[in-house]
């Protein structure tokens, strides 16, 4: 049995969107989520860095584009929903989440999976293969370096990072994402292993001007005061 088996959240769906949604799968891989979305009656668009995977999916008739999560090749507010499963460890997460927020319509939802520090601690302490143990360690170190500097280690050392709930909360605040579903993530040594979260982009509420009689009177008083001052200045100038 895989060391990760007890940590998966099995009742979380990546295809649960309002009927007929146009959904972008960021890091679509072999198209597993896209097929599920289509089977549920949604329009699915995929984007991935992997040229070969994109070619295969395109020859299967799927609507896919080669591109990166950090620079999505789509216009603003094009999608009702976004799916991003097992992709964040390989991205510059701050840029990727900003791009997801950009292409999502206000009120749209994103279904995410994230790897927490517990995932890599499990690798480090329990994986039977020593290379995978080192992978766990370097992913943790890389995650700390990214948290402090916003950069990743060079080359293969910097291939993977984890997410923390604090960093995710910061991203969500920055992009007006409200968490609407977050099944409790099983932890290892107190750290989340796999986190599944659904967030909604809050619509921008236009500021309505305060038209109360009190505010109206204050504004009129200010205007008449300015006019008095102006008149005084004109009188002084004309002498
Ligand atoms: C582990 S696979 C997950 C695939 C799919 N989401 C799934 O759950 O079956 C990770 C995928 O993310 C893609 N990927 C990695 N970094 C990416 C990036 N910066 N932008 C877009 N795709 C990326 C990889 O090419 C790969 O297909």
pLDDT in tens, 179-200: 999 998 889 999 999 999 999 9
> Which tokens go with 76?
């603003």
Protein residue with its CA nearest to atom 16 in ligand 1: 90
Tell me: domain 5-116+163-201, CATH 3.40.50.150, correct?
yes
pLDDT in tens, 25-53: 999 999 999 999 999 999 999 999 999 99
pLDDT in tens, 131-143: 999 999 999 999 9
User: What one-character DSSP code corresponds to residue 117?
Assistant: H
Round to whole Å and give the CA distance between 33 and 82.
11
Domain boundaries, the chain: 5-116+163-201, 210-239
Coil/strand/helix, residue 175: coil
Nearest CA to ligand 1 atom 4: 29
Q: Is the CB of 29 under 6 A from ligand 1?
A: yes
Alpha carbon separation from 125 to 6, 118, 121, 137 (Å, rounded) = 16, 10, 6, 9
Taking the CA atoms of residue 155, residue 160, residue 164 and residue 170 in that order, the dihedral angle to the nearest 10 degrees is: 60
Ligand 1 pocket test: which of 72, 90, 112, 139 has the largest number of ligand atoms within 8 Å of its C-beta?
Answer: 90
Q: What is the pTM of this model?
A: 0.85
4 C-beta closer than 6 A to ligand 1: no
For residue 128 the two structure tokens come to 């039977």
């Amino acid at each position: 049995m895989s060391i990760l088996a007890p940590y998966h959240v099995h009742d979380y769906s990546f295809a649960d969107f309002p009927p007929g949604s146009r959904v972008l799968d960021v890091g679509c891989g072999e198209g597993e989520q896209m097929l599920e979305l289509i089977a549920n009656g949604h329009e699915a668009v995929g984007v991935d860095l992997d040229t070969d995977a994109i070619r295969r999916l395109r020859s299967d008739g799927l609507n896919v584009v080669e591109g990166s999560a950090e620079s999505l090749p789509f216009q603003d507010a094009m999608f009702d929903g976004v799916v991003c499963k097992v992709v964040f460890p390989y991205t510059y997460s701050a840029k990727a989440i900003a791009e997801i927020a950009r292409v999502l319509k206000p009120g749209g939802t994103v279904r995410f999976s994230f790897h927490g520090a517990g995932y890599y601690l499990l690798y480090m302490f329990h994986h039977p293969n020593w290379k995978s143990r080192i992978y766990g360690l370097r992913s943790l170190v890389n995650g700390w370096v990214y948290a402090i500097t916003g950069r990743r280690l060079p080359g293969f050392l910097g291939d993977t990072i984890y997410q923390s709930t604090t960093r995710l909360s910061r991203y969500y605040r920055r992009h007006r994402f409200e968490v609407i579903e977050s099944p409790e993530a099983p932890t290892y040594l107190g750290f989340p292993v796999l986190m599944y979260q659904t967030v909604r982009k809050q619509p921008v509420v236009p500021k309505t001007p305060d038209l109360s009689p009190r505010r109206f009177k204050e504004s009129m008083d200010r205007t008449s005061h300015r006019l008095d001052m102006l008149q005084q200045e004109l009188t002084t100038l004309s002498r």
